[in-house]
Chains A and B, each alone.
Chain A
Amino acid sequence: MPSFSHFFDILFSSSDVFIRAMLLTLELTVVSILVGIVIGLLFALLKISNIKILAWISDTYVFLVRGTPLIVQIFILYFGISNLFLLPDFWAASLALAFHNGAYISEILRGTIQSIDKGQMEAGRSLGMSNSLALKRIILPQAFRRALPPLGNQFIIGLKDSSLAAFISMNELFNVATTLGSNNFDEMTYLLIVAVYYLILVAFLTIIVNLFEKKLSISDR
């Protein structure tokens, strides 16, 4: 019969294993988000470029990623790529997650870039800036600031989605929880424990995003 004391006993006795797993989850998340931002920015810029074929490439990418389940994408990358060359599990999982997050991030960035007043670009151009310089110095800093709330949301989704890496045998949080749970015939306790770890990570991520928002909104005050 599960009880509070039992839960805390297991929580403390298993903390070594879980903390190691939490670090792996964090690594997967951070790498996939950072790579995802790069991919997302690239596809957002392709989409808003005036070149039809580039916009079409971006549309197709977003359609493919949004149109298929993440677990399918992870398996395709894991089994498909390991046929061509040996991709370490960590990178198969990270790249699959990055590829997935990138599509959503590109949609977020495209929206915020397009929401910046056209006059900002004109003001930059009227001062002799090239299109790319004005984009880099004037438009993107404003777009990124506006994108922070939805990006923060996407980061949290990305963190939780990293649990799907368990299915390609990454020993991240969820995998550790289910393995220990079935080994000890005590699934519920371990699942509740892993939920606590996820909540801690999400709380941590939320604080970081809030700090960023505060720092970047200085000019609005």
Chain B
Amino acid sequence: MEQKEMIRIRNLNKSYGNLHVLKDIDMKVLDSDVVCLIGPSGSGKSTLLRCLNYLEKKDSGQILIEGTEVTPGTHDINKIREKVGMVFQHFYLFPHMTVLENVIEAPTHVKKVPKAQAIEEAKALLAKVGLSDKADVYPSKLSGGQKQRVAIARALAMKPDILLFDEPTSALDPELVGEVLATMKELALEGMTMVVVTHEMSFAREVGDWIVFMHDGRVVESGPPKEFFTNPKEERTKEFLQTTIF
């Protein structure tokens, strides 16, 4: 069966002043695939991810979401963001709301889902990420790993077609990384389309369907993980993989 193209990027360029951070990026993300963006810091992977959610404005090039080109002029960006969820490195839970309130906030206020229904769905999501007992707790009471799982539940509550992860485990203590990766793996197995900026090479290798290696604002090499990790073609990739701990 032919997989649907969820995201297609053509010739994307982005600069901050004189700093050219994304250079002629071409990339595609297929339905149900997990694409892992890896590379040294400063290579532009987070910027690329943020462009997909229009948190950063591209300078030139095309971004197609589910087959249609989206620009702030032609589309209601808020509607696109309902379909493309985002999980941040620093969680950004809403500190003045309980865990449950965090999860139902967008469904009730953006999609106007009836509150009772939103609560029911939120409770199912919290159960899914293993945090049913934390529903009425404020985020300040949670560990980093728990916060990130709530953030994942909050993003899922909008029933997105695509979920973007911006270094979701980089701010966590080492012993908390596993629980977040396990949740993400479960989502991947359920068929969620995911784009993940990560430094967790074993996750990329095990869960990723496609690896994109970026360096200095360019996509240097991409391919399925088996090939990418065992038989890298580019010199830069080899250097990077040698310095990376698995």
Which A residues have a C-beta under 8 Å from some C-beta of B?
A: 117, 119-120, 122-130, 133, 137-138, 141-142, 145, 216, 218-221
Contacts and interface: CB of A to CB of B under 8 A. Distances in A.
Given A122-B88, A137-B105, A127 B94 contact: no
Q: Nearest 3 CB-CB pairs, A to B?
A: A123-B92, A127-B106, A128-B82
A137 B95 contact: no
Q: Chain B: interface residue count, which band?
A: 20 to 34
B140 A221 contact: yes
Given A119-B88, A133-B109, A133-B110, A126 B55 contact: yes
B96 A145 contact: yes
Contacts of B110: 127-129, 133
B92 A119 contact: yes
B8 interface: no
Interface of B: 53, 55, 78-79, 81-82, 85-86, 88, 90, 92-98, 105-106, 109-111, 138-140, 151, 154-155, 158
A93 to B, nearest CB: 36
B53 A126 contact: yes
Contact of A128 (B90, B94, B96, B106): B106
B195 to A, nearest CB: 13
Contacts of A145: 96
A134 to B, nearest CB: 10
Max chain A C-beta neighbours (<10 A), residue from B93, B95, B96, B110 = B96
Nearest to A120: B92
Contact of A122 (B55, B98, B138): B55
Contacts of B94: 120, 123-124, 138, 142
7 contacts: A117-B90, A120-B92, A127-B82, A127-B155, A128-B78, A128-B106, A220-B140
A123 B88 contact: yes
B154 A219 contact: no
A141 to B, nearest CB: 5
A129 B78 contact: yes
Given A119-B90, A141-B96, 17 more contacts: A117-B92, A123-B93, A124-B94, A125-B78, A126-B55, A127-B110, A129-B109, A129-B110, A130-B78, A133-B109, A137-B105, A142-B95, A218-B138, A219-B97, A219-B98, A220-B138, A220-B140
A120 B109 CA distance: 16
A128 B88 contact: no
Contact of B81 (A128, A141, A216, A219): A128
B105 A219 contact: no
B67 to A, nearest CB: 20
Nearest to A133: B109
A219 B138 contact: yes
